[in-house]
Structures are given as structure tokens and as C-alpha cells.
Chains A and B, each alone.
Chain A
Amino acid sequence: MDAAGAGWCCEMSDLPPTDEKALAALQERAKELTCLLSVEELLHDTERPLEEVFRGVIEAIPPGWQHPELCRTRITYEGHDWQSPDFIESPWGQCARILVQERAVGSICVHYIAEPPVAEDGPFLEGEVRLVSTIADRLGNYLRQRSLERLLLEFSRDEARESERRLAAWRGGLELVRQTDQNLYIRLARKMVNFLCWSGVREAQDLVERHAGGDNGDVEGLDNYPCRKLSLAPDFYRGTEPFELASRYLGDDEIFSRIQRWMFEDRAKFLVKVLESQQSSLGEIADALRRYQQLVPEDSSLSRATLEAMKASLINRFLTEQLEFIKVAKQHVDVGAFLDLLDRMIFPATSHGKLGGKSAGLFLATQILRRAAASLPGGAEIKTPRSWYIASDALLAFMEFNDLDDVIQHKYKEIDQVRLEYPHLVQLYKNARFPPELAKGLSVALDDFGDRPLIVRSSSLLEDRLGTAFSGKYKSLFLANQGTKQQRLDALLDAVAEIYASVFGPDPIEYRRDRGLLDFQEEMGVLIQEVVGTRLGRYFLPAFAGVAFSRNEFRWSPRIRREDGLIRLVPGLGTRAVDRVSDDFPVLLAPGQPRLRANASVDETVRYSPKRIDVINLETNAFETLELPDLLAECGADYPALAQVFSVVRDDRLHKPVGLLLDPSREQLAATFEGLISDSPFVSRLHAMLRQLEQSLGTPVDVEFASDGRDFYLLQCRPQSHAEDSVASAIPKDVPRDQVLFTARRYVSNGFVPDITHVVYVDPRRYAELEDQQEMVAVGRAVGKLNKLLPKRQFVLIGPGRWGSRGDIKLGVSVGYSDINNTAVLIEVARRKGNYVPELSFGTHFFQDLVESSIRYLPLYPDDEGILFNERFLLGAPNVLAEVLPEHATLADVLRVIDVPAATGGNILRVLMNADLDEAIALLAEPGAREPGRATTELAVRRGEDDHWRWRYQMAEHIAAELDPVRFGVVAVYVFGSTKNATAGPGSDIDLLVHVRGGDVRREALVNWLDGWSLCLAEMNYRRCGYRTDRLLDVHIITDDDIARRDSFAIKIGAITDAARPLQLGGRVAAPIP
């Protein structure tokens, strides 16, 4: 694995011509390499006795030379000689000095014992001359490293002993450092002096000043004048004085551990330097990282600050520049992990590229889970598929290599032109050549993968960022990866080229244009993953795969909470779970409530079980969708984890398959995952994993996973994305009552349905009064017809109880899915009947159909407190049923069809749904003005931002609690506005509503008292976030009269939307005014 690093995929680009001489030269190069490798191997081990190492090197050298039989070697080190048995100093020799810390400590000489055949440029080849000095260099490094290692060993050995002996330890160690590495010693001394100064040791400060020379003026200088420079004589640090001083103030233990840490840090310094420099390429970083890994085996030996800085730089260079991501990621990654990453990274020689969103997300998730493995059930068993990465700027290298640079402008063309030209562009890319370094890198990757099927996925820098759901906009391509190496490589290159071309596809470009991301220079990383799965007959497929969300947006039961999550599970490749497929269904599960299934009866379970399966056909090298029964008939008996994935359907029952007796070719099987769900820890583990990831990343996540039937693989992890129509809408406040059609505060999912032109309303009261069952049936039939007539996805259905009720159709309009499949929102109204509120269906009669076609479901409870239900509009607006469906005009009492623009003078209906707040509102609004709902969507409330309102809210509570109601004549205090609505920013004020019932004197006292608070809070706020305001409170004082007249701010009390919230007042809660 290691050898496959990018370091050497960039070098061997020029193959020599194939004449004989060149062949000989090539053979010589090979010999030299072998020789160097054997030397490297010897030097790998710093524990080996020195003599043994030298002897080994002496033996390793001759085979690397042109005439091994004549070749003899001698090594001299610190006055001692080691040599080949019959070494003689002949005239045909070459020598190189061995340097440690720039001091010559010995030499290495290679001689031929007899005259070699005559050659053009002397007895030795050019390469051989280089080789001797290379070996000498390596030996020098090795010896240096060895002595340092010794030193550290001394230190750590001593650490184990009793503390009184540490004195000797650090002194001895330091002395050794002073002798062998002056520069290091000076740095240690300087750090010690600095440390002592910072620790407030006066003597150390004096020392510094004494040795600085010059007068003892004020070192701090004036505010606006550069302070005086203290030039320190380096000689000072060469002496022992700093440490003598330290030993007077610090314990031996502390000195010891400080010196030890500084030494480690000193060794890591080069890495920090490389990382900090914007100039260093990925290749340089890779080299530095490898060296670092050898020198500093454990991250823990460095200070937290150094480590954090290193991690932040590494993340910044490899993963992303987004500060938000870096902040989270640096808590979870180890420096060493990047090295593993680098071993499988392909990049151009001078690359400054990154991995891209998809790869970064998976990398981070893997690190989080690895760290949590101990506490996470099954955490240690979570695997990730073998992956290779192409750095993002390889795309630019590719384009440059093929002179495709002008394609960049492509994205600024009109979208229809982009669409028109795209197919040509794809072909252009596919016919382009790859820069040799990339082609070689991919070839190495392919050797690593073998002939396992692969998936080549785009990993764009824009994709999967926090806040931008770019999913599915770029391509993912499956490769069967069968055939000869050349065929497989060609297919892989082809796929990468296609992925590259997809950057300039019309969909991503349109999407980027919409989001203002067009000018962002698009670099595209590529992630090449082994496909998880096993061979089944002529196919390759995982036993099952799917996606899981840490938040459930599709609750089919009121008992399921959002945080119970959601899993979409399919047999075979996960493509069918990721995308909604109109003709098939994944199995839905809430991992927090695995027993509450979306489908309750056998029939439903079978009907909504997956019927097709995506596989890779290894014979035709193609991605295929098969009918599940066909696959099972062909090779069902060998299906991986058969008993976990399938249930037997027999006698209208679902049976768990029992062992050997199952014959998939004869039984009817349904993919229910019953065995997996109820007999394996899969669900609980996945749930724990989702929770862990959500907690660590600080945001809801979605993951893709697959299993080959034995192991669980994580394929992708990113912040939970939403389809565009299912983002959380901001719920506007203070909407005039007559513009609201309804509000909802229970079981709300996310959604934004902007342009509804028609409302179909089945009046619950009238429907309940229908005498004849035939009339109820007719209502259902009329709804079915309206469904075909009204503009698709631009009308909503509002009806009583359970839509699609079977049997007892009194409980809800009898419709099938085909009767409602064009609606935008399906709304069920639960009106209180006597003392109970009927249960709603939650769309269960066709729940999965709704999910797969993105039809929103919303339950309304008009009789709940604080809920608005504009029955006046629903019953009062003109009913156009008779015009639309003359044959059902008789139903006009029950069934109302409202043409919203006609009824409202041009307005449309807009439904805004927000699951985070568990609130929804339907507004009559001007068409096109989308912004109020769109403004703050997705991840609207982030941690840093929500501090502002929280602090304000706490302050408001505090003020109310401190307020003496008797002294100030206060009846109640309310908070409203941004503080109450959790939208306050750093500059927001705190809106208070104070209900008073007292004379002017008391009122004036109150105003003064509150003003004091206001000033004080303004100052506090300034200190918190640097935002300067004179006052922070916005106090509105109201009286009984105001309330009676519902004047000014008094209407906020008990208001329908955005009502002011009463606060605990000096020991009691304000009673809302009736």
C-alpha cells in the first residue's frame, strides 16, 4: 500500500527508447534501486546494533554496481573501520562523507579490486556516483536519528524511575543535546527562559535584560511608539545558566516534562512550517507528514495548541477551507489519519487540491466513529470501503493538458446553449488524454482494487457543504471493472473523464447560477470506491444498502419523533434508496422506533416492499435493474444474508425463513428486512451511529450505507440534505389574520409549497351529515375527477378525518392513491366531536406513495388553542365545483372547490411548513413573492447565532423576576418580538410589554428602574459581541384600557400569531388576559 503513494506516481514518466543500450541502462537503474531499497530496509530499524547495520550496508552495495564481482566497500565511522573481507584501496574507487549535523563523522568508499572494462566516463556510471552519496546521506540521517532516539529513550526510561533521579535525567539528557545538537539546545534554552519570564520569575526577566545589554528603560514602550528591541546574545543561551535558573524555580519533574515536550515539538516543527506555507504542494506535505510520522509516533507528545494548529492546517489543505467545517473537524481527526489518506491520493506534481465534499465528509465521519468506537455499540465493526481520491485540481491539470481551458467560460453561456452543447462536451472529455501522472496514479489504484467493481463519484468542493445540498447534481458511475488491466484502466479513465465533464452539465450550472455559486472556481475531486457486495451468479451486489437520516421528516405515526430518524432500505445497490423511484418502494424504518412500521398489514407490507433490485452485471459490465423475483429465481439460494433480507409470503402471512428448508425458487419472497430489523443489532447500531454523528458534527446528518451480508460499510456522510421542496420554511409572524388560511402546530414536517391556485375542501360537518353512503362514495369519486382536472401540484386537498378510509367511509373520504396523486398537500382535519378528537390517518393508506412523490401531508387540529382555521374563507369563497364538474354539482354543499386567485383578487395560497418549530402556516399571498418563506431555510438556527436570543430571553426573565410588582404597580410582563421568536441577532433589542395598574409616581419609578436595566444590558451586550447601542430594552407600557380597547401593543396579548409570552413576575406567572 505504502509504495503506491502519490510520491512516486509522479516520477517515472519518461520511458527510455528501446534500443539495447537503453535497456542496459534501465537494468542498471533497477540494480541501483534494489540496492537502495536494501539499504533503506537496514536503516529502518534504529534498534539494530550499529555494527550489524554497517556490515549489512557493505554487503548490500556491490550488487548495485555494474561489476558486482569486483566491487568492495569500506565504512569509516568515528575512527573505526568496517569493510568487505578483501577490500583494497584501488585506483578505481569513489568515496562520500557521512555528515551528522553538518559534522563529518565518517565516510563510505566503494572500490573495484581490479580494473573494470573500459567505459566512456570513467570506471563508474553516473548513477553509481550519485548512489554512493545518497547512501552516505541516508547513513548520516540515520545516525542522527539514532542518537536522538537514544536521547529520548534515556528520557522516557528515566521517567519510569523515581522522581529524584529525574534531576540527573534531564541534566544528562540536556548535556547530550548540547554536545550533539547546538541549535536544538539553544532553542530549548530560549523556550525555558521565555517560560520562566511568562511565569513571572523576576530573576529570569533580569537575566534577559542583563544579557540584552543597553540601558534598562521601559520595555513596554508607549501606545503609539514602537517598543525597544532587546537584542539577546546567542552565547547566553549556549550556556547552562537558563537551566540552572529553572532548577531553582521549577521541580525536576516539570523541567523534565517541559524539555521532553519541547523536543518533540521541535521535531514536528518542519511539518508546521510546510503546512503553514501556502506554497507547499500536496507532494511536499505528504513527504513532511511521512517524516513526521516516523519522528513523532504519538500525537499526544505535542502540546494541544501545536496539535490543533497542525490539524487545522491539514484540514484546510486536504478537506476544505470552510471555517465551520474546520472548527468541527479538528476536534475529531488525528494527524496520522491524513497519512493514510495521502497513501491513496492521486494528484498532479504541484497540486494544491483538496478531496472535495463527499470524500471529506466520509473521512471526517470515519474519524468520529473511530474515536467513539469504544462507547458506540458495534462502532468498532463499522467499515468503509477501500477508496482512492483524486485531488480536486487534477481537473484543472486535465483540462490544461488537453488545452480545454476555454471550457471554463462555458458556464457563463445561456442555459439552453449549455444544454445543447453538453453532449459534445462529454465526448470531448472522453476523448481527451490524461496527464501521465494521473493515468499512472489511477493505474496504481486499479492494481490496489483488483477486479472488484468500482463506483466513481464526484466529490466537488461545492457538493455537500454545510447549507448547500448539491447532492445528485453531479454524477456517480458504476464500473464492473472486469477484463484485462488495460480494459479496466480505459473504463476507469473514461468514467473519470465523464465525471469531469459533468461539472459543466446544464443541471449543476443552473443550480449554481440560482445559488450565486457560478463564479466559484469549480474544482472537482473524484472519489473512487470499491463497491460493497458479493458475487451472486453473474451479478455483483450488496445484500442490502440504503440511506439513513438522523432526523425523520416523514412520520407515519404521531408516536414517531423527529429524532427517531429514518432509514430507507433496499436489497442490492443503494441507488434505489437514495433516489425516489416512482415505480418501487424502499422499506422505511424509524430507527428510534423500529417496531412502528410504516405498513401494518401483510398486504401493505408486501405491496410496499421493493420489487426491483439494482445490480452490476459482471458479464456485460453494466449496471442493471432487475425484477427481484427473476433474480431470486436465478440464484436466490445464494443471496447473501437471505434470511435477514427476505420473508416468505405464504397463506397471507409473512414467515421468517427457517434455515435450510427455504427454497427461494419455489417460495414467494418479499424483501421486508424482518430478520435484519428484529433479529440483529443493525437498527439500534445504526441509530446510535446517527446520533453520534449528529452530536459530533453539530448538525443532523444523512449517511449512505451498504452491507455485503457480513459487514456494515459506511459509504457517505453529510449534513442532512433536503430535497428542494422539503426544506424547513421560515414561519412568518405577525401575518394579518385574514391572510391566514390555517395554522398547524402538531406533527408538522418540512415543506414549502409556494403557488397553490386551488383549494378542494370537503366540509367535515356536511360530510358527517350525509345520509346516504352513495353520496359519500360520490364525494370520493368527484375528488378523483378534480385530481385529474386541476393543475398538478397546484391544489391542496382538505378533508375530514382519514383520507382513503376503507370500509367505514364515514371516517374519511373514500379515495385511492390515484384519486389524490396530483395534489400538492394532503390535509386532514380533526374536529373535536363532543369530548374527543378523532385520530387522523397520517396518510397511512398510501403513505409510501406520498413519500415517493413528495406530496406533503399535514394534519390540522382547528379546535386546539391558538390555532387559526379560516372556515369563513373556506365556506365563504365562491365554489366553482359546478363549473369544473357539472355532473357533481349536487355535491356543492359538501365539496367546495375554491379558485384562490379569483376569490382573493389575484393572490395564491402558500403553505410553509417547519418541522424544527413544529409549525405550519398557509397564507394567502401575492404570487411570486417567494422571499419570506425562502429567506432563512435550512439549518437556520446555528449554535453561535442562537446565543443572542437565548441570552436576551434569560435577561428578560431575570428582569421580570427582579421586578417588584407592588412597588411599581405592575400586573404582568410579557416578552415578544425577536427575543421570544428566537430570531434575535447581536443588534436586536428586547421587546417587553408591561401591563401596569398604578399611579404616575409608581409608573415613573418603573420607567427609571427599567431604564437602568436597559443601560446596563446595552453595556453587557457590547461586551458580549461588540455591538454598541444606547439602550437594549424596548419597553411598551400598557394599561387596562389599552387591553380593553385592544389598542397598540395590547393586541399582542393572546394574539393568534406571535402572541406575547408572559414572564414569571416576582414569584408568579402573569395570567393571560381573557
Chain B
Amino acid sequence: MAGKSAFNPYDMARAQFDKVADLLDLDPGTRELLRTPLREYAFGIPVRMDDGKVKVFRGFRVQHNDARGPTKGGIRFHPQETADTVRALAMWMTWKCAVVDIPLGGGKGGVICDPHNLSPREQEGICRGWIRQLAKDVGPLVDVPAPDVMTNAQHMLWMLDEFEAIHGAKYPGFITGKPVGMGGSLGRTEATGYGLVFTLREALKELGIRPDQTCASVQGFGNVSQYAIELYGQLGGKVVCVACWDQADQTSYSFRKASGISLEELRSITDRFGGIDKGKARERGYEVLPGEAWLTQEVDILMPCALENQVTGDNASGIHKRVRVLAEGANGPTTPDADQVLKARNVFVIPDFLANAGGVTCSYFEQVQSNMNYFWEKDEVLGKLDVKMTSAFLAVSELARRKKLFMRDAAYVIAVNRVAQACKDRGWV
């Protein structure tokens, strides 16, 4: 193995936890319990390959903590999956569910395989084999899987089908990420983008800024970004700059229009992956600027909704002094160096695992609807999402204000605290 000091996501997750545990002054027992997963499963999945030979794949499931409810988390197909990666991700799921206060714990699973080397039939074999090995240890009231890296709705349906075949009944609530009409929830596409703006709206309220007097710059033009822009626009806000990736040029561009971009207009000249046609954009009066220009715009709000590590120690200093809020639609868009700059500049950061928790909340709604076998209209889903996101935000920001914590830390603190509390209430520690 590599040197002892090498980067290890599990070590990193535990270090992060230890920091929060210190803040909370958690007792050693609780620390020990929360630092490690409650249960781990590792097993072989024999699959008959297309050429008639049998290959055995390694499968995992980690259930980090279920004090607050059934564990929930994705299943990844990855050729170099390691137990430590899965442990770290399961732990993060626990905190993520807790921060939005949904009654679920954290889990994660996977199979060491590369779907690029597998036919669909072989992948189906892996999915069904995974369920056969775990059928007694997962379930709608125990552990609820979802799609993740290199898995999609198709894999979920195979797994659901196998689970239901084994248990001899229909359990649509066993798995999430199902297509609408097959136990999926409406509003899923909008959930993350809308969730982001729900928290943004509350943040502005707190800062005493009227949304209709703000303008924003957004990085990315995919699902999250487009729905965020839509809802932000409905609140009266004006997006003046959008950055997105150009597949043909293999670089990104920022599209700026001082009078405010038109979502519909840009959508009409955008491909499925959020790439805006720059020629057509110019025709429609947009300035086409370099990809990094979104960050330096004179705006009140920045919404990085594309990739991780976009706001760094190097470029954070270029952020315009007018910027008041940075709402993290993407996962990990801000590096720790940049955090320092933002703190110093007194920019209000809505941390990713709160800001983009709309997705996991909607998964929870899918599970709820599936368990009832009664499905809500989209408005109802989005209304309930608003309630959840708003109260989650309020709790975090209240704590941040009260304890003078950076928002990112406050979010962690509240999440860990909720889980620790549940463990104590159950008398585990």
C-alpha cells in the first residue's frame, strides 16, 4: 500500500468529525460510536458472464448510523472502490440527512467493477446478486439504496425487482431514484436548484436584503443551475452572468448581459449538458467572456453550480467587493483556502451540504410516497421541500449566529449534534 500519510477520504471524514466533536465537546463513547460505521457488509457476487465463465465481484454495504431512521445512501460501481471510501461517504450521508432533519441515517455501498467492461446483462447480474446477498439486511425500514457513481434508474429497478421477488411483495419504498411512474417522485429535477434558492431566500432575508434588488452570477448551466435561476427570477432577482462548458472548444465561457439574462432564451440555445451555443448567444446580445469571468462580476450573489474546487485561494481575491452571499449548488466548489478569504471578506456562505440538500430531501419524499403508495403532485412536493429547506437553514444560521460559527461549521455541528442526541435518546451511549 501507499505511504501512511497518503490521502484517505475516511481519515479526512474522521478528522472533520473530530473537529466538530471538539466543538460539541462530545463524550468519548459517543465519539467512538460516531467515528465508525455501525455495520459493514462485504461479500462476493458470482456472476455468469456472457462468455459462460463465472466471475466473482466484491460487493460492500456500510450502514454508518441508523439512530435517526433507516440508513440511506447510494450504490457505486467503481473499479477501484475501497472500503475506506465507502465508509467516508456513508458517514457524510449521516450528516447530510441530519442537517435537513429528515428521519434517516447514513449508508453507502458499492461493487468493485467497471461498467465499461460489462454488458447490460452482466450488470443486471451484479445488481440482482448484490440484493440476494443483502436481502435480509436492507429494506424500506432498514436501509434504502439509491443510484450513485455509474449506477442509474435501470440498476435501481433491477435491484427493486430482485428484492420484491425475494420478499414476495411490492416494496417501492425500498429504493429511490426510480423513474416517475415506476415509484419515482415528481419534482426531482427541480429539487436541488429550488432547494438552493429556498436557502438563498432565507439568507437574504436574514441579511436584510430584498431579493428583487439583487443580481447574481452563476457557474454552470445544468439542471441545478437552470432551476435555481428560474426560482431566483421568480423572487425578482436578476442573473447577469452564467458560465458554462463548451464541449467543442473544450473550455468554458461566461455569458454576460447587464440587463439580465433570459432563462428561456438561453435554454433554447443550450444542449442537454448545459452547453450554450456561443454564436447564437452573441446574436442575442450576450457578451461572451472567458470561463472564469463569472466569479469577478459585480453582483450580490455567487452561485457555483458546476464542479468542485472552483473557488480557490488563488482566485477568491478576485471576487467583487459587492458580493454578499455565496450559495454552493455544487459539491465542494470552495476550497479551504478560499474559505479563509471569504471569512475575511465577510461573505455569507451557504455550505454545499445544506444548500444542495434538496436532492436528498426529495429522495426522502420519494421513499415516503412509495411507502404510502400514494404520489403527490409536483406542487405538493416542492411546497414540502420549501418547508424542509427553510427550517433546516434557519436552524443552521441561528446556531451560527448564536455561537459565532462559520456557516459550514455550524451546519456540521447541528448535524452531528442531532445524531449524537438520537443515540443518547435511544440509550446507546
Chain A residues at the B interface, C-beta cutoff of 8 Å:
556-559, 582-583, 593, 595-603, 606-607, 611, 649-653, 668, 765, 768-777, 801-802, 806-808, 810-811, 816-818, 821, 833-834, 838-839, 841-842, 844
Q: B114 touches which one: A595, A651, A653, A839 (CB < 8 A)?
A: A839
Q: How far is the CB of B247 from chain A (nearest CB, A)?
A: 8
**Measured between alpha carbons, how far is A227 from B9 in the docked complex, in Å?**
97
Asked if residues A602 and B152 are in contact (CB atoms below 8 Å), the reply is yes
Q: B119 touches which one: A595, A773, A842 (CB < 8 A)?
A: A595
- B1-32 residues with Cβ-Cβ distance < 8 A to A are 1-3, 5-7, 9, 12
Measured CB to CB, the nearest residue on chain A to B79 is: A839
Cβ of B85 within 8 Å of any chain A Cβ, yes or no, is yes
Asked if residues A777 and B115 are in contact (CB atoms below 8 Å), the reply is no
Q: How far is the CB of A901 from chain B (nearest CB, A)?
A: 28
Query: What residues on A are CB-neighbors of B179 within 8 Å?
Result: 650-651, 653
Query: What residues on A are CB-neighbors of B272 within 8 Å?
Result: 606-607, 649, 668
**Measured between alpha carbons, how far is A826 from B258 in the docked complex, in Å?**
42
**Measured between alpha carbons, how far is A668 from B271 in the docked complex, in Å?**
11
Asked if residues A771 and B117 are in contact (CB atoms below 8 Å), the reply is no
Can you report 28 residue pairs joining A to B where beta carbons are below 8 Å apart?
A559-B117, A583-B248, A596-B116, A596-B118, A596-B119, A600-B114, A600-B115, A601-B150, A607-B273, A649-B272, A651-B153, A651-B179, A651-B180, A653-B152, A768-B3, A768-B6, A769-B3, A770-B6, A773-B7, A777-B309, A802-B79, A808-B78, A810-B6, A810-B9, A833-B2, A838-B80, A839-B80, A844-B116
Contact A596 B154, CB 8 Å, known A769-B2, A818-B251, A838-B80: no
Measured CB to CB, the nearest residue on chain A to B273 is: A607
Chain B interface mostly: loop
A-B contact sample (4 more), CB < 8 A, given A808-B80, A811-B80, A833-B1? A582-B248, A595-B120, A653-B152, A774-B335
Measured CB to CB, the nearest residue on chain B to A606 is: B272
Q: How far is the CB of B226 from chain A (nearest CB, A)?
A: 15
Cβ of B70 within 8 Å of any chain A Cβ, yes or no, is no
Contact A807 B78, CB 8 Å, known A600-B115, A601-B115, A777-B309: yes
**Measured between alpha carbons, how far is A626 from B36 in the docked complex, in Å?**
56
Q: A771 touches which one: B5, B76, B273 (CB < 8 A)?
A: B5
Asked if residues B152 and A557 are in contact (CB atoms below 8 Å), the reply is no
Cβ of B336 within 8 Å of any chain A Cβ, yes or no, is yes
Measured CB to CB, the nearest residue on chain A to B180 is: A651
Cβ of B213 within 8 Å of any chain A Cβ, yes or no, is no
Asked if residues A806 and B2 are in contact (CB atoms below 8 Å), the reply is no
Query: What residues on A are CB-neighbors of B78 within 8 Å?
Result: 807-808
**Measured between alpha carbons, how far is A603 from B335 in the docked complex, in Å?**
27
Nearest 3 interchain pairs by C-beta? A595-B119, A818-B250, A768-B2
Query: What residues on B are CB-neighbors of A595 within 8 Å?
Result: 50, 119-122
Cβ of B372 within 8 Å of any chain A Cβ, yes or no, is no
Measured CB to CB, the nearest residue on chain A to B76 is: A807
**Measured between alpha carbons, how far is A818 from B85 in the docked complex, in Å?**
27
Measured CB to CB, the nearest residue on chain A to B181 is: A651
Cβ of B184 within 8 Å of any chain A Cβ, yes or no, is yes
- B139-189 residues with Cβ-Cβ distance < 8 A to A are 149-150, 152-154, 179-180, 184
Query: What residues on B are CB-neighbors of A602 within 8 Å?
Result: 152
Contact A769 B5, CB 8 Å, known A600-B150, A817-B250: yes
Chain A interface mostly: loop
Chain B positions 98 through 120: 1 when the CB is less than 8 Å from some CB of chain A, otherwise 0: 00000000000000001111111
Asked if residues B85 and A653 are in contact (CB atoms below 8 Å), the reply is no
Q: How far is the CB of A257 from chain B (nearest CB, A)?
A: 51
**Measured between alpha carbons, how far is A597 from B117 in the docked complex, in Å?**
8
Asked if residues B6 and A806 are in contact (CB atoms below 8 Å), the reply is no
Asked if residues A772 and B7 are in contact (CB atoms below 8 Å), the reply is yes
Query: What residues on B are CB-neighbors of A593 within 8 Å?
Result: 50, 119
Q: How far is the CB of A585 from chain B (nearest CB, A)?
A: 10
Q: How far is the CB of B248 from chain A (nearest CB, A)?
A: 5
Chain B positions 238 through 260: 1 when the CB is less than 8 Å from some CB of chain A, otherwise 0: 00000000011011000000000
Measured CB to CB, the nearest residue on chain B to A772 is: B7
**Measured between alpha carbons, how far is A841 from B116 in the docked complex, in Å?**
9
Q: How far is the CB of B199 from chain A (nearest CB, A)?
A: 24
Chain B positions 42 through 60: 1 when the CB is less than 8 Å from some CB of chain A, otherwise 0: 0000000010000000000
Q: A652 touches which one: B6, B85, B152 (CB < 8 A)?
A: B152
**Measured between alpha carbons, how far is A817 from B245 in the docked complex, in Å?**
12
Q: B116 touches which one: A770, A772, A838, A842 (CB < 8 A)?
A: A842
- Which of B80, B116, B248, B272 has most chain A Cβ within 10 Å? B116
Measured CB to CB, the nearest residue on chain A to B248 is: A583
Query: What residues on A are CB-neighbors of B1 within 8 Å?
Result: 833-834
Q: B154 touches which one: A557, A653, A765 (CB < 8 A)?
A: A653
Asked if residues B80 and A651 are in contact (CB atoms below 8 Å), the reply is no
**Measured between alpha carbons, how far is A769 from B3 in the docked complex, in Å?**
5
Q: A765 touches which one: B2, B152, B247, B309 (CB < 8 A)?
A: B2
Asked if residues A821 and B85 are in contact (CB atoms below 8 Å), the reply is no
Query: What residues on B are CB-neighbors of A807 within 8 Å?
Result: 76, 78, 149
**Measured between alpha carbons, how far is A821 from B184 in the docked complex, in Å?**
39
**Measured between alpha carbons, how far is A557 from B308 in the docked complex, in Å?**
29
Q: How far is the CB of B220 from chain A (nearest CB, A)?
A: 14
**Measured between alpha carbons, how far is A203 from B89 in the docked complex, in Å?**
100
Query: What residues on B are CB-neighbors of A606 within 8 Å?
Result: 272
Query: What residues on A are CB-neighbors of B271 within 8 Å?
Result: 611
**Measured between alpha carbons, how far is A905 from B153 in the docked complex, in Å?**
57
Asked if residues B7 and A776 are in contact (CB atoms below 8 Å), the reply is yes
**Measured between alpha carbons, how far is A806 from B122 in the docked complex, in Å?**
23
Asked if residues B250 and A651 are in contact (CB atoms below 8 Å), the reply is no
Query: What residues on B are CB-neighbors of A596 within 8 Å?
Result: 116-119
**Measured between alpha carbons, how far is A668 from B309 in the docked complex, in Å?**
32
**Measured between alpha carbons, how far is A598 from B118 in the docked complex, in Å?**
10
Q: B7 touches which one: A558, A599, A810 (CB < 8 A)?
A: A810
Measured CB to CB, the nearest residue on chain A to B85 is: A808
Q: How far is the CB of B251 from chain A (nearest CB, A)?
A: 6
Query: What residues on A are CB-neighbors of B117 within 8 Å?
Result: 557-559, 596
Measured CB to CB, the nearest residue on chain A to B123 is: A600
Query: What residues on B are CB-neighbors of A833 within 8 Å?
Result: 1-2
Query: What residues on B are CB-neighbors of A601 within 8 Å?
Result: 115, 150, 152
Q: How far is the CB of A845 from chain B (nearest CB, A)?
A: 9
Q: How far is the CB of A673 from chain B (nearest CB, A)?
A: 14
Q: How far is the CB of A890 from chain B (nearest CB, A)?
A: 13
Chain B positions 75 through 92: 1 when the CB is less than 8 Å from some CB of chain A, otherwise 0: 010111110010000000
Query: What residues on B are CB-neighbors of A838 within 8 Å?
Result: 79-80
Q: How far is the CB of A836 from chain B (nearest CB, A)?
A: 10
Q: How far is the CB of A818 from chain B (nearest CB, A)?
A: 3
Q: How far is the CB of A185 from chain B (nearest CB, A)?
A: 67
Measured CB to CB, the nearest residue on chain A to B121 is: A595
Query: What residues on B are CB-neighbors of A668 within 8 Å?
Result: 272
Asked if residues B150 and A653 are in contact (CB atoms below 8 Å), the reply is no
Q: How far is the CB of B7 from chain A (nearest CB, A)?
A: 5
Query: What residues on B are CB-neighbors of A558 within 8 Å?
Result: 117
**Measured between alpha carbons, how far is A597 from B121 in the docked complex, in Å?**
12
Query: What residues on B are CB-neighbors of A583 within 8 Å?
Result: 248
Q: How far is the CB of A129 from chain B (nearest CB, A)?
A: 76
Measured CB to CB, the nearest residue on chain A to B149 is: A807
Measured CB to CB, the nearest residue on chain B to A822 is: B250
Query: What residues on A are CB-neighbors of B5 within 8 Å?
Result: 769, 771
Query: What residues on B are CB-neighbors of A600 within 8 Å?
Result: 114-116, 118, 150
Asked if residues B153 and A653 are in contact (CB atoms below 8 Å), the reply is yes
Asked if residues B116 and A771 are in contact (CB atoms below 8 Å), the reply is no
**Measured between alpha carbons, how far is A491 from B311 in the docked complex, in Å?**
59
Q: B309 touches which one: A774, A841, A842 (CB < 8 A)?
A: A774
Q: How far is the CB of A846 from chain B (nearest CB, A)?
A: 10
Query: What residues on A are CB-neighbors of B122 within 8 Å?
Result: 595
Asked if residues A802 and B7 are in contact (CB atoms below 8 Å), the reply is no
Q: How far is the CB of A776 from chain B (nearest CB, A)?
A: 7
Query: What residues on A are CB-neighbors of B3 within 8 Å?
Result: 768-769
**Measured between alpha carbons, how far is A664 from B12 in the docked complex, in Å?**
49
Q: How far is the CB of A435 from chain B (nearest CB, A)?
A: 47
**Measured between alpha carbons, how far is A11 from B241 in the docked complex, in Å?**
74
